[in-house]
Structure 1
């Protein structure tokens, strides 16, 4: 479906505007309040109807009173061109749909063409901005499927919440094991009332017979009431017929009166129209006579005045030639000024050439290359030359400084090497400090004590294990003896075998020496550690603290000196690297210096300059060459201007002299000739003005006369048409026929008035046909009243019997308890049935919704997400490639091309909006592929930079199945929309506000 044209009669402030030639991608550009929202609303209203007054949406009714509505022309592949016209009428407007084959229809045909699409669904799917999916990153996988299904089905996310709402409503009504839901409470209460009702019913044997009698009486009373109602209605008809009967009879009389007379042919308001035509013809006839006299006078005056037409034919040529006289003087003065400028430029050129000492002709100077590339080459060469000079000075200074710093470092390194102890001396000092350190000896002593404690624990555990082992062996020995004795007494070889086996195990375990060896090893280690502990105590008591501190101080100083030496060695290596780097820089400088010298020689050859000038004044020399070439070009341009001005002066003079020879026999100087031509032309122009004025008056008079004659003929024709319509030949017969027509009209009006009186009556034609046969209406009314009284008496008797029956029932119902229980039981049963029906309806709706959403998740959702991933990859230039919903929690993941995974709420606002655009467009191109409605977008990319904006616009251009209408107020977007069809709303005519 492609919209081709919009015709707006009146909508908001837009009036009588046609927008045509809409393409598959059309851009509406305009500033704020230019009419973009109005046009979008107009398209919605044409397709789906005007907003009603109860809706919050703006109606855009025009304030000027112009017709509200317009036309929409669009094209559908299988239907051709279709026109929708909607104007103000009923709530949503009156619509007429016209197909290409001429078929016309209304709202039903339009809905069929739009595939039953409604306004809210269209606005949510095809007409969108960056709203509606603000919380999309919080949806679970199944919720995302529900959301996309809901959006694809009804255009909003309402179905996402409907499922949970239905489940909540079901739980509020009924739960299998619940107590508080409504149906559970009703079931419990119904059971209790039923038991009470059965208990009360068993006490009344004749109750049901009285109930049947009561029901029969109720039925009889109802029938009597209906009969009485029918009789009352018939009585009312008889009374009304009594009033209407004279009117019916008078109507029959008037009809019989006009039946014999043939109808007269006479125009509507014929007499009045004839009098009006005669009144209009009288002034026209007088005006015709006046115009005839005026035409004769003007024709005579024109013959007496004739201008020189040959001179007037040359009026334009003469005027153009005379208008050029000031130009002739100006050109002469300019020629003199240009010659002075030419001499000045020649002096400048000679001065510049003398400064450069290059005596070359102008052609050779112009051939020298002073292009932008050469100028840039000169600048680069000069900059390189300056940089090399500066670099040479810097390298000299750096070389001296680095050399001095290197020598200082070498002296300090030699000093520290002399001050340090030898390696053997350092090791001896370190050993002395270690042996005399109280902290070290105490640490060893602590370690020995911890080992002693641990071995003592092992020894205690070994003793416990030995005791336990003894008791275990004793128990096995007793069991073995018991089994052996039991086997011998019962002669059981199995028990004897088990007894011997257990005894051998006990014997083997008792002979094992592993435990004893372990205890012996632990005891040996304990004795060694105790000796070591005593020796450490002796060493600690024999310590000399002063000697220890002195050795420690010396060792620390040596360590500091060694560290300083390491730092100095590192600095020396760094400084040496700097020194070598400077030497390398010197070598690079020499290479670059040779290259720039070669470049300068090449430039000097191309600019025809000496090498001395090139080395010292290259920039100034290049500027002088440019100035010389510019001066030469200016000389040529001035000479060309001088030649052109001389040519124009000659042509103007020749033209004036040529015109003078045509109209004057005598020759005049050029200024006097121009004056004579001007005076002669002015005289002939005055004559021609008078001549033309009289011709115009004559033409006007003739036209007016023709108009008067035409009007007179028209009135005469109208009068003859009136005579023909009345079938007469003159005015007298016409007026007589008019009087007869008035009489017949009066009778017909009387018939209409009587028919209206009959129509206002409540009696139908069938009833009147029956009543008109009654001869005595008064007697019929009396008889009908008698029937009503008899029916009323029978009903009163039945009511009395019913009252007695109810009284007997109430006595049997235990003072009213049974009736109350029966009423309560019936009421509860009806309420339970209603609640059960409501619960079943909600359950059925939930089941159908779940099945539909399951099908959508399994079949439609993968296709939508696949297309959305394709669009997202294009929008982000391949940076983001996949959209994967989370399995068991809210939200979904976005996969980047470097395999990084982000949650949706971790993305930037602009990237999240790109995801949104991809999903919305995927919905349009997958679920609604068979409904290619136009996509309308209202400034949805304000958060995008120029790259993202360019990508999304390019994506929209690639959508070929749907027309895209893009509305924007941002001028910078137009450069990205070059080649698109752009409609500028400021060029659209809009009425000014008063």
Structure 2
């Protein structure tokens, strides 16, 4: 099955969205967190399988849009179909649309998907990073249930049926219960039997009849047992007649075995082993013969070879070494002499290039120390430093003089722009007068406003005081004169206080003097202020320039002092230079700057001169060595190096040939010992075989082996016959037959006829007894006419019938439950190994070969992973990444087992977050393999591989 298109009406954050899945077998849907990838996966599951209302309500859009959508899929029919599911429409069931316009309901969809529901699908084909955490609790029973779930169509109904049967069995019967139906019926039957027994005690005749009935029934039972014994005997002889050929063969073969005198024990596969050992020895012995022939040939060659004695050969080699040394020393001597001449010539050329005559300079007496080089370098550096310092100081003096002249000009220029002191004072006084006039005007205006306000309030105070005074006088006349005095005093205080306040504030607010200057307009005032500010700036600039001029003068004095110091340094430097020229006269006329370079050149010339002296010493030593070696040459050998080398070469070849032959002979000897060691184990094995058979003759050994094999074949046949006969007969019967106590076949036939006649007679007697029992039961029925006895018997019969009904029902349920358990167990045993086999293959690939297989420990009922190092690890001891890989491998193994019935799409939501890059690549290869059978839709924040096409909308 493949999903080709998804159209969402409304589901979570998605509304009116359309997803066209491409034709690739692996489809990746990527996006940031909270982008809606998991919501899309839940939408696909909802359309295919539906969901409980309380679980799907959280995906209802906030704006009230319709929840649901459509999926266009291929693989469920001959043509593409469209599956639609809308919340609260058509009872939340799916509707399937075909291209010809026909429609089908959800039952058709379930049948097309072969009974696969959401729980089963989520158990195999869809998972996310949270599902990977559940592997730690997975055990044998879990896989058993999962296998049953995914592999048996209608497994949910099987599970429900199993639970229903268990529940009904509990309702029917419990071993120690009272409420179940069968328990209740047994209790009621017990009570009814007590009632019946009580009623029967009153009927003595009834008891007699019952006694006779029981006697007849016992007799009938004994006759039936007699008949059964006769039938068993008849069946026994029938079996003997049916298996008579096997019994006869068992007897004859037992007698024949007794007559065969074969050894009780013999080496396992002894004859074949003897032949194998002998065949293995043959090629080794052939190799040994060839090796011994080669050793004899080498012995002859070693005896024929002859050469010089070791003393003669060593003396010859020593003569060669002396000649070679003399020749080498002569060549070295010529080279040294040539080197001396070349070095002397180079020294003369070097001195000439330095304009120094070799005749006027004694290189051997010339002493150039480290202090000399340091002194010359210091003189050059000091002279350069003095010249540079002198030029810097002179340049600075000139610059300072220029700056002094420029500042002098600036001061003169600024002083020319400055106002006279009289003009400046006039401008300042004018501004001060204008400021004072402005303040007086503001004060006068403020005084006038206060004066006006004061008069208004004064009137109010006067009226209030007058009113208080009038009221006080009236009250004093009418009531008490004191009130009049108090009111008059209050009015006087109020009026007097206000007057004092007014005089005091008037003195403070009234402006002093009058403004007699002519007021300036605003523009004139701003102009004068600007003139005064410019003058202030000019004065500040002049002060700054004067300060700068003072600093320049101090700097000039310092520079002149530094110049005098430089002159004193120059004098001391010239004296030191003269001192060096007196020590090294060849320096006279050479500029001081070149002295350090001259020093290095002279050092090189002195080094060459020392090298020439050393080489001359070597020449002298080489001459002495050559003379000493010539004295050591032997007189009994030629002084011709070439003839000696030829002779040494010939002797060396002879010695090498002899050494090689001896070495080859030793190797052959060692090989001979090795071959003998190879033969020895076979000979020991042959001897051990013969000893184990108590013989030392191979022919006797073979004969014993053949007899033992024949006896074993007869024993195997006897065991086979015995095993087949023991199914029907006892061990003692077989022992009698083996010892010859066997009846003839005719005798067996005669006994069968006699037993058949006895059975017929007993059958006739049984029929007679059954008739008599029926008569007694009829008589008892006549006596059972009392109401109590009849009712009790009726109720007892009804309860017994009801009990038989429920007992039959309980046994049917019990058998059905056992059948279900057997079905589940057999199915698990059939498919669990296939699942683990495929899961092991995927797990091995995902872990890059670190783990070999997955299997169940039946003893501990736990899932184990076998590592390549041979150790087995439980689930809880694996790392999180390995757990993820194990869980995915189990999912893929389950999918592989079930893919033969339905290849459904995989929906994977960030399933590989704990995978490293290598295992992620391996997972990609596995998904590519799986994608040939299943469509794979992968939801993630990152790509599995950049080669995978990304579809994101």
Say whether the fold is shared (TM-score over 0.5): no
| TM-score computed with the length of structure 2 as normaliser | 0.42
